[in-house]
Amino acid sequence: MSKKKVILDCDPGHDDAFAIMLSVQNLDVLGITCVGGNTPLPNVTRNALTVLEAIRHADEVPVFSGCSHPMVADLVTAPMFHGKSGLDGHHRPEPVHQAQKKHAVDFIAETVMTTDDVTILATGPLTNVAEALNREPRMVERVREICIMGGSVTFGNWTPAAEFNIFVDPEAAARVFNSGIHVKMCGLNLTRQSGFTDETVRRFRGMGTEVGEFAADLTEFFMQAGRKIDDPTVACMHDACAAAWVIDPSLITSAPMHIDVELSGRFTRGMTVCDYRHLCGPNPIYDVAREPQIGFKGAEPNAEAALELDYDRYMQLIYSTLRSYG
């Protein structure tokens, strides 16, 4: 079976690093496009190259630097989670490869218009994707689907209402959700089910490979950074979940919903407003996927929201992928 063709748009970021490692081995990655998000754009681009060199695929997968700032607001970054470089904790040297000259937005638009059946896998703010849609509106008829890590059916992490990727550029997110392309939203309500633990780190190191050590170093840093803020016992590699959903859709149970993005609320800017009334009836949200009921009709679904992760099989995919790099 041929691998799915994807453009991976990301802002590495520890969890983006795992999305890259999963995608390169299990999908046909046409290119990696970088956007300012977890860290400023120069760091993001360098980090993408670092990951590709760590897994020895930097010669095959081109990297394109894209938008450095959101469409309207100033850039917000997350050094408290990812460190000054955006990918602190590893011991890799500076990458020797460089990004391509072409701008990421041009690469996305041109690739979609000249290549059939492309999925956009977006694990950072959606600035590059939205700008590509604005530049080439005919993409709507060409893209297979857009699978994003972002948003939440429930609560946020950057604010009580908003998840980080959507909060950074809500205007871009609104453009994507209202584009007419099928959007699969892998939000925090799902990714919080995906935690790596101390045992995960031990298993990575037990592989006895450079890639295993790299993965362990990234996980340890990300876990320790989180503990300084809210003392979690796990590190959720959020972006890897979106990649896993593209690789194997059976890993995630989802439901159709109408999703839009709040742009002006004083307390809710960046919130993904999910209308699942037509599914719930009397049942709470966690029963949506199991027992759909007839409720309020609401707006027609424009997206698919991830609800439940098959954690054991997801971790099997993580381990088998990292082992396959040798």
Q: Which of 82, 238, 258, 278 is catalytic?
A: 238
* Selection from 38, 35, 14, 24 nearest residue 88 by Cα: 14
Backbone angles phi, psi at 27, to 5 degrees: -130, 165
Longest CA–CA span in the chain (Å) reads: 57
Residue the block writes with tokens 């909060």: 167
b/e burial code for range 142-152 (CB count within 10 A of at least 16 → b): bbbbbbbbbbb
CA distance 239 to 15: 5
- 262: CB partners within 8 A, 6+ apart: 161, 162, 170, 268, 269, 270, 271, 273
Respond yes or no: is residue 278 known to be catalytic: no
Catalytic residue IDs: 238
